[in-house]
Every structure is written in structure tokens, then in C-alpha cells.
């Protein structure tokens, strides 16, 4: 079956990748085509609009021995003719050949130097000064557009979620744990109890405005580098895949920590880029500087995360999964003409990563969530059990005795039975210890109300010393449960 959009192949033996880019830029200038993206592996250009066309989009994929160029209509027009697409490719081929013949060594050297010094991956050829600040360049980070929608969409989604959180009453600097969980934070006990969607949603929930700004800055920096290289769809998928892998790593490492924020997925994108920078896909002259800057960023943030209060497990999980995906994508990026290879190198490693994560999580204690729900029920029973101790001032001993017999003793017996019923649950080590403490607390409470019944019902005062000792034990266990 013929390709829907015409494609050409131009061999460039004897030219470096940077020299090919210089010649392509010269060719596009001579044709008066606008440059949307300029990258060591991809150049995207737009032909001028006319009465017969809204403009054609030419995507040029550069490899080690040449480039493939594909042309398609940017917008459909009833007057547009398919023959224009092939004509555009023929013009590009001719203009590239002319540039190769006409450019002088001095011009080539000057253009190469300018290219190396600029570090610019996205250019607009219609502007005279590429270094002049323009507000529309800022808008690129927030306004999705054809061929560059992934990074703006991901940034916008996180910002919208944050704004909605604040509007709903969440503190703009310090959200509570319950608020983070309510908005989709990742917690082992809840996620593994049937709410696996939190593996994804936690990446769009941020712990205050500072957390959001730092993450969105890091996402913007890697997005403008990586999206022109990989394309928008692949960038968005990599963000999701490495973000989920990061969330899985966090669950595996932390038994009772709420994880939130985009940093795991962002580390995933940095991992992809690091993997590609270690190959020959990116020109040597650009590779060293990029490796140095990105390597410093990654190492600094990993070391900073060791101070505590940062989910470094998610960072490591995102980074490693990104490295895996980056190396897996290498064959597809070298052979851009093979459409089957493009998706196979995305799907297979993604399934492998998520599958491995699922196996590891499957070996974790799976009943923590059930136990937390049991504790919710226990706290309701506890309120009834404590009612004999919350009588108003002036209440008589007979009134207290009635409450002990009707509420206190039955409630604490029910609480003990409830907690003893959790013996078969598969709990994490920390939660198993917590279960033991709760059960000890419930048994001591039952003992104390039974002793209180004896004291209140006997005329001789009953076992008051035993009751005081029981209350002391209850206080001791409560201090442990409260972390004191």
C-alpha cells in the first residue's frame, strides 16, 4: 500500500549531521519556507500559504547518512492538489543540492560556529533576530499546537489541577495529607486496594505552588529539547509510562508515604534524553555540553532528595525507566522510515516495564488498605467505648455504671473481636506492628471498663489499685500509638 504522504530519501555521504542542518537551513531560506523546529535529528518547515493552499508541512528526519523528508498538508483546502506535495519535495531536493554546491567553506564554518554557540532547538526563520526575546516564545510553553502539543498540554494539565485544588480549599503552599490523597495522591494502602489509577493521577497533583513551579520549569526545559526529537505523541506516552513506573517504584519503596508531583515522570524524560545522548544520534559537538548540563541536573536533584522529605524512589524509578525506554527507541530513531519499528520499540519495553512493576507490587503486602478500613470502623466503635468517661460534670456513679454496662463493655468487646479478625491479613511489617498495638490497646480498654464496672457496683470500692494500674497501661499504649 502506498504511503499516504509522499516521502523522499537524500543521501549525504561525506557530510556531518551539523553540515546537513546548515545546508537544509540555507535551502529553506532560499525557498522562503518558515522553520518551525530546528534540531540535530529533525527539521520541520512550513511552505508559504497561497490561494490554493493553507501551507504544507515538511518534516525532515536526519540520520547518519542522509535524511528522509515527508510532506503533507497542514490544513485541508478544497483547492489543494496532492501533486503539490511531491513538487515541494522536489524543490527541497533541488535547493539542498544548490546549497551544497554554492556554499563556501568560510560560510559553512561561520554557520557551524553560530549553530554550535546558539544552542537553540526551536527557531522561527521568519524573524531576523533569533536571540531577541518575544512574548510568543513564552506562549509556546503553554499553548498546544500541531507538532508541538505534548509539553504545553502536560504543563497546562498540572496547572489546572493545582488551581482547582486551591479553589476547592486546599492550602496553596502546604496541602494536608488527606487533601493530597483526595486529589489523587499515591499511597500504598489505598492504591493497592483497588485504586491503581493513582499511579497516574499522582503525577498531576503538587504539594504547593513552589513544588509546582520547580517541576513545570524542569518539564519545560526537557520538553523543548526532547519533543522536537521524538515527536509529540511519543513524548506524551513516555511521560505517562515513566511516570507510572516512578509511582510503582515509590509504592515498592515506601509503605506509608503519600507520593505526589510530576518529578518522577520528568526524571523519566531526562533519562530518555541521557540514553540518546550516549549514542551517535546527536552530533558530537552538541552531545558533550548537553550531557554535562543534564547530568549535573540529575545528580544534583538525586543528591538533594537524599536529605529527606523528597520521594527519591520515584526519581530513581523514573530515571531508570527513562534510560530503558531511551535505549529501546534508538533503533527506531535510526530507521525512521520503518513505521512498524517505531511502535514496536515503544510498546514492548513499556509492557516489560509495567509488567515487571506489577510483579514486584504483587509481592508486597496487599491487605494494608483493608486494615486501614478496619481502623476506620474501630474508631467509630471507640467513640461508643469511651462514652462512660465523657459524662458531664456532676454525673452520678450509677449513671456511669449504666453507660459502662450498656456501651463501654459491649463496645470494647466488639473492638477486640474486630481486630482479632485481622490476624489473617497480609500486612507490611510496620502495619503489622501497628495492628498489634491497636489490639493491645483494645484489650486494655476492655480490661479497664470491666474493672470500672466492679468498682462502681461494689459498696467496698472494689479493685481500685488494679483499675489505676490498668489506666496507666492504657496511657502507655496510647503514647506509643501517637508516636510520643
| Packed helices 312-334 and 284-305: angle between N→C axes, nearest 10 degrees | 160
Place of cell 513505521: 339
pLDDT at 74: 65
**CA separation, residue 83 to residues 4, 71, 75, 89, 90 (Å):** 12, 11, 15, 10, 11
Spatial separation of the C-alpha atoms in residues 198 and 180, rounded to whole Å: 11
pLDDT at 53: 53
Give the CA angle between residues 42, 222, 47 to the nearest 5°: 30
pLDDT at 236: 95
Question: What digits encode the pLDDT tens for the residues 240-291?
Answer: 999 999 999 999 888 778 999 999 999 999 999 999 988 877 766 667 777 7
The rounded average pLDDT for each run of 10 residues, N- to C-terminus, in the chain (484 residues) is 72 85 90 81 79 71 86 62 82 92 87 65 36 51 82 95 96 92 90 89 94 92 86 93 95 86 94 90 71 81 77 92 93 76 86 90 76 88 92 85 92 95 85 91 94 86 85 91 77
Question: What digits encode the pLDDT tens for the residues 368-399?
Answer: 778 878 888 999 999 999 999 888 888 888 88
Question: pTM, whole model, 2 decimals?
Answer: 0.62
Q: Enumerate the active-site residues.
A: 263, 315
pLDDT at 124: 37
**CA separation, residue 91 to residues 30, 58, 84, 96, 104 (Å):** 10, 11, 10, 8, 21
Contacts from 55-63 at CB under 8 Å and sequence distance 24+?
A: 56/84, 56/85, 56/88, 57/146, 57/147, 58/33, 58/88, 58/89, 58/92, 60/24, 60/92, 61/336, 62/17, 62/20, 62/21, 62/24, 63/334, 63/335, 63/336
| Packed helices 429-457 and 368-385: angle between N→C axes, nearest 10 degrees | 20
Amino acid at each position: 500500500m502506498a504511503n499516504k504522504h509522499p516521502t523522499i530519501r537524500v543521501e549525504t555521504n561525506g557530510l556531518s549531521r551539523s553540515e546537513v542542518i546548515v545546508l537544509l537551513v540555507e535551502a529553506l531560506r532560499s525557498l522562503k519556507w518558515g522553520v518551525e523546529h530546528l534540531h540535530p535529528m529533525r527539521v520541520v518547515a512550513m511552505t508559504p500559504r497561497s490561494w490554493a493552499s493553507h501551507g504544507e508541512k515538511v518534516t525532515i528526519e536526519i540520520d547518519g547518512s542522509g535524511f528522509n523528508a515527508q510532506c503533507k498538508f497542514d490544513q485541508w483546502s478544497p483547492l489543494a492538489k496532492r501533486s503539490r506535495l511531491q513538487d515541494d519535495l522536489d524543490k527541497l531536493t533541488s535547493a539542498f543540492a544548490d546549497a551544497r554546491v554554492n556554499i563556501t567553506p568560510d560560510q559553512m564554518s561561520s554557520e557551524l560556529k553560530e549553530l554550535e554557540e546558539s544552542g537553540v532547538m526551536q527557531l522561527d526563520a521568519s524573524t531576523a533576530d533569533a536571540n531577541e526575546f518575544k512574548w510568543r516564545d513564552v506562549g509556546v510553553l503553554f499553548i498546544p499546537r500541531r507538532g508541538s502539543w505534548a509539553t504545553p498540554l502536560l504543563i497546562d494539565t498540572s496547572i489546572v489541577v493545582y488551581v482547582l485544588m486551591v479553589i476547592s480549599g486546599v492550602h496553596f503552599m502546604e496541602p494536608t495529607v488527606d487533601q493530597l490523597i483526595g486529589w489523587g495522591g499515591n499511597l500504598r494502602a489505598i492504591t493497592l486496594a483497588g485504586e491503581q489509577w493513582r499511579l497516574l493521577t499522582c503525577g498531576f497533583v503538587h504539594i504547593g505552588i513552589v513544588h509546582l513551579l520547580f517541576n513545570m520549569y524542569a518539564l519545560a526545559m526537557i520538553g523543548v529539547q526532547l519533543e522536537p526529537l521524538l515527536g509529540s505523541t511519543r513524548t506524551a506516552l513516555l511521560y505517562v509510562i515513566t511516570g507510572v513506573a516512578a509511582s510503582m517504584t515509590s509504592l515498592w519503596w515506601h509503605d506509608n508515604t503519600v507520593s505526589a508531583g510530576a518529578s518522577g515522570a520528568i526524571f523519566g524524560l531526562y533519562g530518555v534524553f541521557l540514553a540518546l545522548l550516549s549514542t551517535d544520534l546527536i552530533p558530537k559537538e552538541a552531545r558533550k555540553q548537553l550531557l554535562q548540563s543534564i547530568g549535573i541536573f540529575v545528580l544534583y536533584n538525586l543528591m538533594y532528595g537524599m536529605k529527606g522529605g523528597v520521594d527519591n524512589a520515584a526519581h530513581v524509578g523514573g530515571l531508570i525507566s527513562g534510560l530503558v525506554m531511551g535505549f529501546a527507541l534508538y533503533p527506531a530513531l535510526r530507521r525512521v522510515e520503518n513505521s512498524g519499528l517505531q511502535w514496536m520499540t515503544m510498546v514492548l519495553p513499556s509492557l516489560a516495564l509495567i509488567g515487571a512493576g506489577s510483579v514486584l507490587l504483587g509481592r508486597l503486602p496487599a491487605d494494608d488498605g483493608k486494615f486501614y478500613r478496619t481502623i476506620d470502623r474501630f474508631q467509630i466503635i471507640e467513640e461508643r467505648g469511651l462514652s462512660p468517661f465523657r459524662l458531664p460534670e456532676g454525673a452520678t456513679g450509677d449513671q456511669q455504671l449504666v453507660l459502662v454496662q450498656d456501651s463501654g463493655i459491649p463496645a470494647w468487646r466488639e473492638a477486640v473481636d474486630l481486630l482479632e479478625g485481622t490476624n489473617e491479613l497480609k500486612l507490611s511489617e510496620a502495619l503489622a506492628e501497628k495492628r498489634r498495638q491497636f489490639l493491645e490497646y483494645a484489650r486494655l480498654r476492655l480490661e479497664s471498663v470491666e474493672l470500672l464496672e466492679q468498682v462502681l457496683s461494689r459498696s467496698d470500692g472494689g479493685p481500685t489499685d488494679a483499675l489505676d494500674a490498668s489506666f496507666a497501661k492504657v496511657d502507655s499504649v496510647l503514647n506509643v500509638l501517637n508516636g510520643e
